[in-house]
A and B are shown apart, each in its own frame.
Chain A
Amino acid sequence: MDPEELRALWFTVACALAGVGLVALPAFGLAWLLARRDWPGKSLLETAVALPLVLPPVATGLILLKLLGRRGWLGGWAHAAFGWDIAFTWRAVPVALGAAALPLMVRSFRVALEGVDPRLEQVARTLGGGELRVLRTITLPLAQRGLLAGLVLGFARALGEFGATVVLAGNIPGETSTLALALYRAVELGRDDQALRLLLVSIVLAYGALWMSERALGSGRRP
């Protein structure tokens, strides 16, 4: 692998980790709201969270671009407050990868939380447990394998993200080029050897991540 390919590899892994880290807490909060609370409009939020799963990724990227571009609501604020540009810089990549991972993470986290019997949490409260203590000592330990599987699944999804990244971050070699973007570029330029190498690396990475996610879930299943 040449230095450019190696850079794309570590940049992708780093941005996927950062993206998952960026959305992990919001994803947990959303999953908790969906799993543990009943409120009007819940089904609307449920659908909205799942939307990026079925929307064309390019459309997700466009929404993010409208939000995070220099004239966008959040992008304009970030530029004014910190002088940061997000769209078409490396900063856009973790955001796009995180956005792609979010719906899968929310789903996995929700399943993990729903697997914890609410009665255990209730009894813990009658024993004097406050909400944070119950979360830390009952909910999280019992849901941990499902939560871990959700994190790894989100990471796997982020590794392969293309559409939203290309719209929000562009395909700038040495700046925003992830494995998926580098692969596209190699195919477009007819560099078959490079495309094959990037393809193999992508497969190994994705396979490893999915395997770990399945393993985390599998070993958590009760007999």
Chain B
Amino acid sequence: MKLMLEGVTLAQGAFKARYDLALEGPAVALFGPSGSGKTTLLEAVAGLRRCTGRILLDGRTLQDSGRGIWLPPRERGIGYVPQDLALFPHLDVEANLGYGLTGGGGPDLGAVAEALGLSKRLKAGPERLSGGERRRVALGRALLARPALLLLDEPCANLDVGLRRQVAALLRRMHRAFGVPLLLVSHDPAELRSLCGDVALIDGGRCSGVVTARGLAAHPIPAARRPGAPPRRLPVPAVAPWLEAMC
């Protein structure tokens, strides 16, 4: 997967952001402190937030304001799991999972439910699910729509250490089983080291560089930030470390 953002400019009240970055690999991430604009950027990639500039995914133009191109979210083929998961409260697990099901060659609902350990919960409403089950439903729902890229906003936020490990392991398993590229948002270096290759450093509405997840600790945010500077590209391993470890 290759995601390119060129001069992507967006504003929300007093917050103004401009992003130039390129991320490549099976699992990449946006890293930065709270309020640095990571979620805003994710929403721009998903087409949920209007912005100017160019966004390309695997060479396909998702938007190019100079040429008047803007694909609506449903045509981008980008899955999105927001931090609050946004499960449809009036639909049971099965209907939530199947909402984006397109049919024709993709993973079927039963297989995904099985892989996520949700087979016995298909008729339950979201309000009857545990926190972990809710995350799994949100992940399965996005995977079943067969996205070309899956955006995950803080997938391990507000979880204790044990659950965090479980969710990270689940993401690795799903990534391997369904082969969907991931773009994660996080402010936890440990989480990223276990999941990702390329990591874009985001702070104050800018991308101050792209590093490897392994090298993250060596590039603390304030030191890496150079407002207005073009994105810095540091050596990136061909395969994400965690994938390497599994092979």
**Interface residues in chain A, defined as those with a beta carbon under 8 Å from any beta carbon in chain B:** 117, 119-120, 122-130, 137-138, 141-142
Contact = CB atoms under 8 A, between A and B. Distances in A.
Contact of B82 (A123, A124, A137, A138): A123
B79 interface: yes
Contact of B80 (A126, A138, A141): A126
A186 to B, nearest CB: 48
Nearest to B98: A127
A141 B90 contact: yes
B145 A128 contact: yes
B125 to A, nearest CB: 12
A141 B89 CA distance: 10
A125 B73 contact: yes
A130 B73 CA distance: 9
Contact of A126 (B74, B88, B90, B102): B74
Given A122-B73, A138-B88, A127 B48 contact: no
Contacts of A127: 74, 79, 99-100, 141-142, 145
Interface in B31-76: 46-48, 72-74, 76
Given A119-B82, A119-B84, A126 B76 contact: yes
A120 B73 contact: no
Main secondary structure of the interface of B (DSSP, over half): loop
Nearest to A117: B86
B73 A142 contact: no
Interface of B: 46-48, 72-74, 76, 78-80, 82, 84, 86, 88-90, 99-100, 102, 141-142, 145, 147
A123 B86 contact: yes
A120 B141 CA distance: 13
Given A126-B46, A127-B142, A129-B74, A119 B99 contact: no
B106 to A, nearest CB: 12
Contacts of B145: 126-128
Contact of B48 (A122, A128, A130): A122
Nearest to B46: A126
B102 A125 contact: no
B109 to A, nearest CB: 13
A128 to B, nearest CB: 5
Contacts of A117: 86
A117 B87 CA distance: 11
A129 B99 contact: yes
Given A141-B90, A142-B90, A126 B84 contact: no
